[in-house]
Structures are given as structure tokens and as C-alpha cells.
Structure 1
């Protein structure tokens, strides 16, 4: 049995992420990945059962990087407005600094493999987020609503601003840069909209 080499595994994952972002999921073959990573196809199977397992493991790894970045500096005792401001800044920073990961995480949600990821236990992220939301409802800082509505009202505005920032232009095609002032002004409006 061959010994696992963490450096090789990291290289395989990095090249897989790069290939998926640049060529789509259909562009990822084990032969092409092996060439790009400088390993034999057999080496990939030391770390992953098959192509789907590779994609799922890559998703879980990148998801956890994203979730850990979101809760950085977040304290469950913060008031809701402060907690949301920390999250918005963390989410925006991560999306801007990690475009490949953001692209990959977004696009895997439209594949059947996304459902496979729900079989894994959720990270600490879910516990922290639920605690903050429940406390905000109790303190009348947040109206009670279905999760889908909450996510759409609270985070969709942020991700639209980040998307325009990454494109470098707004919906009218004019130059656009997301500033801290714009982020905070938008957040204030969101907070007003979700109060009971």
C-alpha cells in the first residue's frame, strides 16, 4: 500500500479546483487532473474513491474554509446588528479574496453532488448562526420568518454588491467599487427591513 503524501493531495485539490472553475465540472477528468497535478492517475485514487468523491471532499474542504472565515471575530453574545456587520465584512472579504472558491461553492449547488454534502455533519458555523438568530428574535431585533426569507433579505443584497464589485461595474454597466460606507449603508437598510 502506498503512503499518503499531504503535499500531493493538496496539489491535486488545488488543480481540481482550478480546472472546475476554468472548465466546468465536465472539464474535470482524472487523466487531465493527473497531468495538471504532476502525478499518475493511480495516485489520485490513493486519496479519493472516484471523481465524485474528489469533488465532494473538495466542496467540504472549501465550505469549511468559507464558514470559518465567516465566523472569525464573531461572538454569540454580540447584539444582532454587530454580529451581522462582522458577518457581512467577513463574507465580502472572503468572496473578493477567494474568487475560485466562491465560484466553485456557488456552482456546485446546481449539481446533484450538492445533495451528497448534506450527509456530513454541519460545522460549528451552524450552531453559532442559529444561536445569534434565536437570540435576535427573542430580543426583538429580528422578525421571525422562514429561513429562505431570512437568507434572501439578509444576505442577497450583500452578494449582489460583491458580484458587481468583482465585475467592476454596476447593473447599468458603469464602474463600481464596493466601499465600506456602501456596505454599512446597505446593512442599515437591511436591519430596518427585518425588524419586527
Structure 2
């Protein structure tokens, strides 16, 4: 009995998952892709370039990733997960909102301003109109997830009487935007080509904390 086209597609997908199960080979491909995307940008990079940089055959590359877009998304997810752990640990293990938010803000701004993160944002913004699913995935698994995690921390601080916030989701987004003020947007447009110094990040985040606490800090009773 001849298999239907749908059955063949499903079998190919299963075979790809089984064949592409070597974590070392996957990491090797992603390392090569990181080099190519960073050097050439998304549109100029080709699967041939990535295969060469990763030192694998083009056939092997397609066993692991069906196209350049899915490879790029997988790379973004890997880099994001590796970088954000330290930032969120600052929230999970510190009950002092000023100190925790300061540590988080500095980690976040440093993470967003590294070369790959800036490049990833540029790429996703550039392709989001013709590839809305990629843009939505990038937003939901990055900025939206981050604001939700901060909002949970703010909820805990409100419950402990350390902050006075009616809408913690809004406050979380406000805090993220304050921490990026004057830093991220010039980088996205290549108006500033180098990452900010640690001293500049500390200065901007300290100002963000001051404004945030002026609005949401618990006022002492008289």
C-alpha cells in the first residue's frame, strides 16, 4: 500500500528528529551559525556558509534544521537561555527590591547590548513583517517572558509590603524600559557601535532604580 504524502512528511519529520539527536553535533552547527550570522547578518548568510563554518556537510545541516529561519530561532533561544540565568537569579534570591532590581537591571542591559543580542534584534525587526511567526516567537520567548518574571517578583514585593504597585505587569515593562534608556536604541540603529561600559550601565540602571522607587516605593508613615 502506497503511503500518503501526509504520512511521508510525518515520517521525514520523525526521521529528522531521530537523526538530528546528537547534542554535540547540534552545538557544533549552532556555533558555526553564530559566527556566520554575527559576521554577515541574517539575509547575507547562507546555509552553505553555515555548513562550512560548522565543518559539516549541507546534508547534515538539513538533518538538524529544516531552513535558515529555524536555525536562527534555535540559535537565539540558545544564546538567550545561556545569558538570562544570572539576571533572573538576582530576582529569585534577594528580597531587597533595590538591590535585586539593580542587579537584574545591570545583567539585563549587559545582555541586551552584547553584539549577538543587538544583531538578533536587528534581524528579527527586519524580517518580522514577512515572517510574523518568527517575530512573535522572539517577542513571546524574550521580552514578554522577561516582563512576566519581573512582574512575579514585584507581586511578591507588594505582598511583603516593600512596594506599592497596582499593576505589576505595567511596572515591570516600565522598569525594563527605564534600564535601557539612552543605551539600546542607539545600538539598534548603529548610531553607537560599541557596547556601553559597566560604569555607564551602572549609572543608567541606578537612575532607573531611583525613578522606579520614587513611583512605587512604600512611603514611610508619619
Give structure 1 stretches of 5+ with no counterpart.
none
1:145 aligns with 2:167: yes
User: Counterpart in 2 of 1:32?
Assistant: 49
2:40 aligns to what?
23
Q: Who is 2:65 aligned against?
A: 48
Partners of 2:209 and 2:147 lie apart in 1 by 24
Report the count of equivalent residues: 185
Counterpart position of 1:156: 177
Which whole-Å CA distance do the structure 1 matches of 2:32 and 2:74 have between them?
Answer: 14
Identify the match of residue 104 of structure 2 among 87, 97, 116.
Answer: 87
- 1:44/1:187 Cα in 2 relative to 1: closer, same or farther (>3 Å)? same
More helix by share: 2
**Structure 1 residue 142: deviation in Å?**
4.2
- Give the 4+ runs in structure 1 shifted more than 6 A: 124-127
CA contact (8 A) 1:142 1:195 kept: yes
Pair 193,17 (structure 1): closer, same or farther in 2 beyond 3 Å? farther
TM-score when normalising by structure 2: 0.64
Q: 1:73 to 1:119 in 2, by over 3 A?
A: closer
Q: Which stretches in structure 2 are left out of the alignment for 5+ residues?
A: 1-14, 218-222
Counterpart secondary structure, 2:89: coil
- Cα distance in 2, alignment partners of residues 40 and 31 from structure 1: 9
1:14 to partner: Cα distance = 2.0
Q: Contact 1:141/1:195 (CA < 8 Å) preserved in 2?
A: yes
Deviations 1:24-74 (CA, angstroms, capped at 9, x unpaired): 221222112112222111111221122222122122222222321211343
Residue from 121, 132, 140 that aligns with 1:106: 121
Query: Which has the higher mean CA deviation after the structures are superposed, 108-117 or 29-38?
Result: 108-117
TM-score, normalization by structure 1: 0.70
2: CA distance, partners of 1:31 / 1:65: 26
Matching residue of 2:89:
72
Map of 2:31 onto structure 1: 14
Contact 1:30 1:51 in 2 (8 A): yes
Larger C-alpha radius of gyration, 1 or 2?
A: 2
- 1:76-119 C-alpha deviation (Å, 9 max, x unpaired): 661322221220232244346xx233224423542231324578
Calculate the aligned-residue CA RMSD, in Å. 3.8
CA distance in structure 1 between the partners assigned to 2:66 and 2:90 by the alignment: 36
2:212 to 187, 191, 194: 191
| Contact 2:164–2:216 under 8 Å retained in 1 | yes
